[in-house]
Amino acid sequence: MISSSQIKVKAQEFLRPVAEVIGSAGVSPNLVTVAGFFFSLISGLFIATDNLLLGTVFFLLAGICDMMDGIIARVTGKTSPFGAFLDSFLDRYADFFPLCGLTILGFKGDNLLLVLFSLLSTVGAFATSYARARAESLGADCKSGLIERPERFFILLFALFSGLLVEVLFILALLSNFTAFQRLICAAEKLKK
């Protein structure tokens, strides 16, 4: 069975030559991180105004930036604690903006299921990330769970491409929150020792 980490390693190998070109042009990894933040914001704005085509395009650009910033940092030797912090910090906003756009779209269209599943997907994404960070701050490694950020990205991308927003967001909400509770259980087991 192919794991998420194996796919991530293969994607990084594939994108490495592109990252080397971008890095040699003097583009900093932090700039790519910030660009991804703005692409995600623009994506959310387009989604909120029911322009799913442009919303999807900018969501995809944000995802590419999210994959590229770390690779550029490694190939240029510009990894830093601040860069890692900035990436994680802005990732929370990048998680929020498209889902916020879908929540607004649901409100405008009187689609309460879209609103509900968008909000549940948001809290699931945040709880998953928070659980890992908080557990690590207390000395427990809790990276386990059914889906992580890359999987959430592709599930949401499929929702936007397919137009099956309610159906796919129901799955995203379910899996995101399931993962958050998996990490809660992991933390409980490791921190009670």
Active site residues: 91
Cβ atoms of 141 and 187 closer than 8 Å: no
- Measured CA to CA, the distance from residue 100 to residue 43 in angstroms comes to 10
- Count of positions (residues) in the chain: 193
53, 20, 59: which is closest to 37 by C-alpha?
59
Kindly state the DSSP code that residue 141 receives in the 8-state scheme: -
- Measured CA to CA, the distance from residue 56 to residue 20 in angstroms comes to 27
Cβ atoms of 50 and 102 closer than 8 Å: no
